[in-house]
A and B are shown apart, each in its own frame.
Chain A
Amino acid sequence: SQTIHQWPATLVQPVGSPLSLECTVEGTSNPNLYWYRQAAGRGLQLLFYSVGIGQISSEVPQNLSASRPQDRQFILSSKKLLLSDSGFYLCAWSVRTGGQSFGEAFFGQGTRLTVV
C-alpha cells in the first residue's frame, strides 16, 4: 500500500532563518506531488506541484521554493523565512496516468510552522 511521510510535525523558526520541509511517498512510482499551505485552519492554497523529477510548477509568487530531487521526494524550502510564512503545510500525492491526473490526492499529516 502507499504511504506518505511528512516531517517534522511542528517547527518553530526565527524570522530570517532557512527552511526545509521534506515529504516522501512509498509504494507508488511517478506520482504527482503537491505542496499546500493552510492558513488559520481553513482553505488550502496550492503552492507547488510536480509531475516529475526536476519539474516544478509554482502557483503563487512567494518566499518559498520547491524541489524534487528524486521520484518520490518533494522538498519545500526557503532561504529566509518571513512572519507571513507561518501556517500548516501539507504535502500530497496523486496517481498520474497517461500524462494526466484525475484521481484523488492523498495527504501527509502536515507540518505546523510558526515563524517568530
Chain B
Amino acid sequence: AQSVAQPEDQVNVAEGNPLTVKCTYSVSGNPYLFWYVQYPNRGLQFLLKYITGDNLVKGSYGFEAEFNKSQTSFHLKKPSALVSDSALYFCAVRDDSGAGSYQLTFGKGTKLSVIP
C-alpha cells in the first residue's frame, strides 16, 4: 500500500524568507510524486511533479521540490515566500506497481502561513 506523510500541520514563515514544506512517502514500486496547493473553498491546483530524471523539479509560482530516494522524501521549497503563498499544501504519490498507479494518495496537508 502507498502512503504519504506530511509531518507538519502548519508552517509559519516570514515574507521574503525561504520556505520548506516536508513530505515523505512509502510505495511498493517506484514513486510518482506531486505537490498541490488549495485555497479556501477551492479545488486543488497542481504545482509540480516528479516522475523520473533530475531530482530537483521546478514548478509553478517559483516552487521547486527535491526528490530524495534514500530518505523517501519530496520536500517543497521556495527561495522567497510571498504572503499570497499562504494556503494549504498537499503532497501526493502514485505507485507504479499494479493497481496503485490509478490511485493518487494524498497527505493530510500542511497549512502555510506567510507573515508580512
Contacts and interface: CB of A to CB of B under 8 A. Distances in A.
Interface of A: 6, 32, 34, 36, 41-44, 46, 49, 51, 57, 59, 88, 90, 92, 94, 100-110, 112
Contacts of A59: 103
Contacts, number: 63
Interface in B80-96: 88, 90, 92, 94, 96
14 contacts: A46-B103, A90-B44, A92-B104, A100-B102, A102-B32, A102-B51, A103-B51, A104-B34, A105-B34, A106-B46, A107-B43, A107-B44, A107-B45, A109-B43
A32 B102 contact: yes
Contacts of B44: 44, 90, 92, 107
Among A32, A94, A101, which residue has the most Cβ atoms of chain B within 10 A? A101
A46 B105 contact: yes
A108 to B, nearest CB: 5
Interface string B11-52: 000000000000000000000101010001111111001010
B106 interface: yes
Among A41, A44, A57, A101, which residue has the most Cβ atoms of chain B within 10 A? A44
B109 A42 contact: yes
B41 to A, nearest CB: 7
Interface residues of B, number: 26
Nearest to A88: B41
B89 to A, nearest CB: 12
B75 to A, nearest CB: 18
A101 B42 CA distance: 24
B108 interface: yes
B90 A44 contact: yes
A59 to B, nearest CB: 8
Contacts of B109: 42-43
